[in-house]
A and B are shown apart, each in its own frame.
Chain A
Amino acid sequence: DTAVSQTPKYLVTQMGNDKSIKCEQNLGHDTMYWYKQDSKKFLKIMFSYNNKELIINETVPNRFSPKSPDKAHLNLHINSLELGDSAVYFCASSQDRFRGSYEQYFGPGTRLTVT
C-alpha cells in the first residue's frame, strides 16, 4: 500500500498550458511538501502545508499554486507552463513538528517535460 502517491508519473505538455499534479498520503501525517528537482538533480523546497495551512512558500513564481483540500492531499497547479518548469516534482509528507517526528516520506516523483 503506497504511503505517498503522485499522479501522473510523467507529464509532457506544451508551453503556455496549465497542468496539475496530485499528491496523496495515507500515513496520517499533518505536513506535506512539494519539492522541485532540476536537471542537475538538485532538490529545492517549493511549498509546505501543515493541516491545510500554507507554512512554507519559497521564492516560486506565482504561476505555481498549491492547494490542500484536506491534510491527506496536496496538489500543485501550474499555469502558463514555461520551458524552465521542466523538472521532476516530488511530494513528501511528515508528522507535525510538534509531535517530534520530522522524517519525511517521498512520493515517486512526477517528471514534467515542457516542449
Chain B
Amino acid sequence: KNEVEQSPQNLTAQEGEFITINCSYSVGISALHWLQQHPGGGIVSLFMLSSGKKKHGRLIATINIQEKHSSLHITASHPRDSAVYICAALMEYGNKLVFGAGTILRVKS
C-alpha cells in the first residue's frame, strides 16, 4: 500500500462543475504538494501547504493534519483544467517527496 493515496483515479466532469480530488497519507509529513501534469508532460507545482487552506484563482487546496488528509478543489471547471493532478507528501524527516498515483481529470465542454 502506497504511503500516499489519491481518489478518484479518474474523473470526468462537465464544464462549470465543482471538482474535488482527495489525498490521504499514512506517514508524518512536513508539507503537502499538489502538482499538475498536462498532456504535454510538464509538471507544475500548484500548491505547497502545511496547514489550513490556500487559494489561487479557481483552485483551492486544504489540509487537515490531524486527519492526514488534503483536498484540491477546482471551481467553475474548464476544459483547460484537464490534466493529471498529483498529490505529493514531503516526509517529515529528509527532503523527500512521496507521490500519489495521480488523478486523471477530464473536463468536457
Shortest Cβ gap from A70 to chain B (Å): 19
Contacts A106-B45, A109-B41, A109-B43; A44 near B31 (Cβ below 8 A): no
Residues of chain A lying within 8 A (CB to CB) of residue B7: none
Q: Is B101 an interface residue (CB 8 A)?
A: yes
Contacts A104-B45, A106-B43, A106-B44; A44 near B95 (Cβ below 8 A): no
Q: Is B84 an interface residue (CB 8 A)?
A: yes
Shortest Cβ gap from A10 to chain B (Å): 11
Q: Per DSSP, are chain B's interface residues mostly helix, strand or loop, or mixed?
A: strand
Complex interface residues of chain B between 25 and 52 (CB less than 8 A to chain A): 30-31, 33, 35, 37, 41-45, 48
What's the Cα separation between A106 and B84 when bound, in Å?
15
| B101 partner, pick from A40, A88, A103, A109, beta carbons under 8 A | A40
Contacts A41-B84, A41-B102, A42-B102; A104 near B97 (Cβ below 8 A): yes
Residues of chain A lying within 8 A (CB to CB) of residue B98: 45
User: B35: nearest residue on chain A (CB-CB)?
Assistant: A106
Shortest Cβ gap from A9 to chain B (Å): 9
Number of A-B residue pairs with CB-CB distance less than 8 Å in the complex they form: 52
Q: Per DSSP, are chain A's interface residues mostly helix, strand or loop, or mixed?
A: strand
The answer to whether B41 touches A88, judged by C-beta atoms less than 8 angstroms apart, is yes
User: Which chain B residues have a beta carbon within 8 Å of chain A's beta carbons?
Assistant: 30-31, 33, 35, 37, 41-45, 48, 84, 86, 88, 90, 94-99, 101-102
Sample 9 A-B pairs with CB under 8 A, ordered by A number. A31-B95, A41-B101, A41-B102, A50-B95, A55-B94, A56-B95, A56-B96, A88-B41, A109-B41
Q: Which 9 A-B pairs have the closest CB atoms?
A: A106-B43, A43-B99, A103-B48, A97-B95, A109-B41, A108-B42, A102-B31, A56-B96, A102-B90
Give me 10 other A-B pairs in contact (C-beta within 8 A), A41-B37, A109-B41 excluded.
A41-B84, A41-B102, A42-B101, A42-B102, A44-B99, A55-B94, A56-B96, A97-B95, A103-B33, A106-B35
